[in-house]
Chain A
Amino acid sequence: SAVISQKPSRDICQRGTSLTIQCQVDSQVTMMFWYRQQPGQSLTLIATANQGSEATYESGFVIDKFPISRPNLTFSTLTVSNMSPEDSSIYLCSVDSPNEQFFGPGTRLTVL
Chain B
Amino acid sequence: SQQGEEDPQALSIQEGENATMNCSYKTSINNLQWYRQNSGRGLVHLILIRSNEREKHSGRLRVTLDTSKKSSSLLITASRAADTASYFCATDEGSSNTGKLIFGQGTTLQVKP
Measured CB to CB, the residues of A under 8 A from B are 31, 33, 37, 41-45, 48, 59, 90, 92, 94, 96, 99-106, 108
Contacts and interface: CB of A to CB of B under 8 A. Distances in A.
Given A99-B48, A105-B42, A42 B106 contact: yes
Nearest to A56: B98
Contact of B42 (A48, A96, A104): A104
Interface of A is mostly: strand
13 contacts: A37-B40, A41-B105, A42-B88, A43-B43, A43-B101, A44-B103, A92-B42, A92-B43, A94-B101, A96-B99, A103-B45, A106-B41, A106-B42
Report the interface size class on chain B.
Answer: 20 to 34
A105 B33 contact: no
Contacts of A45: 100-102
A100 B50 CA distance: 11
Contact of B104 (A42, A92, A103, A108): A42
Given A99-B48, A102-B45, A106-B41, A43 B88 contact: yes
